[in-house]
Chain A
Amino acid sequence: MPSNFMADEATGSAATSYLTELECSGCGAKFAADQIHTYCPDCQSPLLARYDLKAVQAHVDRATIRQRLHGMWRWHELLPVRDPQNFVYLGEGDTALLPVPHIGAKLGLSNLYVKDESTNPTGSFKARGLAAAVSKAKELGIDKVIIPTAGNAGGAMAAYAARANIRAAIYMPKDTPRANIDESRMAGADVILVDGIISDAAGMAGIKAREEGWFDLSTFKEPYRVEGKKIMGYELAEAFDWSLPDVIVYPTGGGTGLVGMWKAFAEMEALGWLKDTRRPRMVVVQAEGCAPVVKAFESGAQFCDFWTNAHTLASGLRVPKSFADALILADLRESQGTAVAVSDEAILAAGRDLSAHEGIFPAPEGAATLAGLEKLVEQKWVRPDERIVLFNTGSGLKYLDALA
């Protein structure tokens, strides 16, 4: 761990993390933060980490954080790991926020940006969540972790587990992009290819976890992946001089990033760090072949129905039902946002546009956000001068077989 994440802690009273407890997102039950937890044993909803934000306010300011070594861990007071020796660091975080003026002009939008997560270790935003979760697992003494994945989360978990000297087992669909399979095996993980999709992989991983005592890092079935992902929200605020964009367009499978950023906005507001507390309207983008959040949002439901026969080339969007569906829908509605589904053809076309006009070779999930934005422009749901951020969640280089 580079020492200059911590270089400014001179007073001796500052803590590495101000994590206080875990709180159930469903029933509000509280749990001790320094014990191993999965999800709420009472109502079986995801747990969220809570921090002593007053103490953070007293001990650190935004300017100090900005001066630290770049990367996710410069926000360590707001992350769950107490001992810096347990930071499992591969260079995650502080990805570029790129203006995309050519596509913006084409759409009649003057303030369009892409948050390009493809430069994270292992080439996707999954690095953030798995860095946090594997680091906390290390701190809690967990020695073997398991995950069902649509692809990139598996690759990321394999890399961080290798770095932490923790055993890794990964269940992924047999048609997962080749890069995900190979990177996971290269990192020493046990890779089991499943005849099905991520929900099928989850079933099999769950059996192995229960029978053999592996710790399950499935989306929202442990409390810390979302903490790594929330830092995307802090980075956006910092990049926009402590205000927030008007609209964030986010490709949504499990929804960790969307829930995480919304959590970050609330934390920043409580910390008094935002010059302007107006929140963005959040937009969920899903594929037409698997759009459970879009369906639930449009019907006014609190929970998603399980999406049967899910199919899309954007493998990260092939999630029939997120474990955090209630949180996603609540945050979406609180933000006065919306949800749109796009076709695979539109995803491919948007990917070509981002590559040809802006030099960004996006993952299909990232390309889906541009396809979704095009719909919103048609619907006049966005205004021409609004500050809009698309999330490219990964590199197109990891999907060469799907895009060929």
Chain B
Amino acid sequence: MGKNILYIEDNPDNMLLVKRVLESRGYHLLEAENGTRGLAMAEAQDVDLVLLDINLPDIDGYEVARRLRKSTKVELAYVPIIAITANALKGDAEKALDAGCDVYMSKPINIRELWARVEGFVVSSH
């Protein structure tokens, strides 16, 4: 069974692209279309890594990261979080890292870099 990667992203095109490339590497993608749903899935399921879009329709990615880190589910204090933004605006990187994310990436996401970053945290089953 592949490692579980939770991708919290409201853009279906991005979701599809990342799903395709990560599943081709043997990862299993859990899909959440907003922050609230992403938090619920992180609490309920085993998650090995979180890909977190910052521009979400309900609560922003910074707040999602903060809530993950403060969760009573101990694993979420340590789960690797890769923040992804569509429009890198002033201070986004700093805010993402301050909120508890481990890595900051801005779109367009180089897929080979995404593989390398994910692989750096959780080895695929391939």
Contact = CB atoms under 8 A, between A and B. Distances in A.
A200 B88 contact: yes
B123 interface: no
A206 to B, nearest CB: 6
Contact of A44 (B86, B92, B111): B111
A200 B90 contact: yes
Contacts of A270: none
A308 B89 contact: no
B87 A207 contact: yes
A79 interface: no
A203 B87 contact: yes
Contacts of B105: 306
Contacts of A200: 88-90
Nearest to A198: B88
Interface in B86-126: 86-94, 97, 103-106, 108-113, 116-117
Contacts of A221: 108
Nearest to A39: B108
B56 to A, nearest CB: 16
Contact of A206 (B21, B86, B97, B116): B86
B58 to A, nearest CB: 20
Contacts of B113: 302-303, 326
Nearest to B105: A306
Contact residues of B: prevailing secondary structure: mixed
Given A306-B93, A306-B104, A308-B93, A204 B110 contact: no
A194 B93 CA distance: 17
Interface in A178-203: 194-197, 199-200, 202-203
A27 B109 CA distance: 14
A320 interface: yes
Contact of B89 (A39, A203, A305, A306): A203
Contacts, number: 70
B108 A204 contact: no
Given A44-B111, A203-B106, A308 B87 contact: no
Contacts of B116: 302-303
A126 B14 CA distance: 32
A27 B90 CA distance: 31
Interface string A195-222: 1110110111011000000000000010
Contacts of B111: 26-27, 42-45
Given A302-B116, A309-B94, A203 B108 contact: no
Interface in A291-309: 302-303, 305-306, 308-309
Nearest to B112: A26
Nearest to B89: A203
A202 B88 contact: yes
A26 B116 CA distance: 13
B113 to A, nearest CB: 5
A197 B117 CA distance: 25
Interface in A105-147: none
A42 B108 CA distance: 11
Contacts of A326: 110, 112-113
Nearest to A194: B90
B94 A43 contact: no
B60 to A, nearest CB: 15
Contacts of A27: 111-112
Interface in A360-391: none
Nearest to A200: B90
A303 B97 CA distance: 18
Contacts of B88: 199-200, 202-203
A276 to B, nearest CB: 34
A39 B108 CA distance: 9
B1 to A, nearest CB: 26
A220 B122 CA distance: 30
Given A206-B87, A320-B93, A199 B106 contact: yes
A15 to B, nearest CB: 32
A44 B105 CA distance: 13
A70 to B, nearest CB: 38
Contact of A26 (B92, B97, B106, B110): B110
Contacts of A202: 88, 106
5 contacts: A44-B108, A44-B109, A196-B91, A203-B87, A326-B110
Nearest first, the 7 closest Cβ-Cβ pairs linking A and B are A203-B87, A196-B90, A43-B111, A44-B108, A203-B88, A200-B90, A303-B113
Interface of A: 26-27, 39, 42-45, 194-197, 199-200, 202-204, 206-207, 221, 302-303, 305-306, 308-309, 320-321, 323, 326
Given A44-B109, A302-B112, A321-B106, 12 more contacts: A27-B112, A45-B110, A194-B90, A196-B90, A196-B91, A199-B93, A200-B88, A203-B86, A203-B88, A206-B87, A207-B87, A323-B110
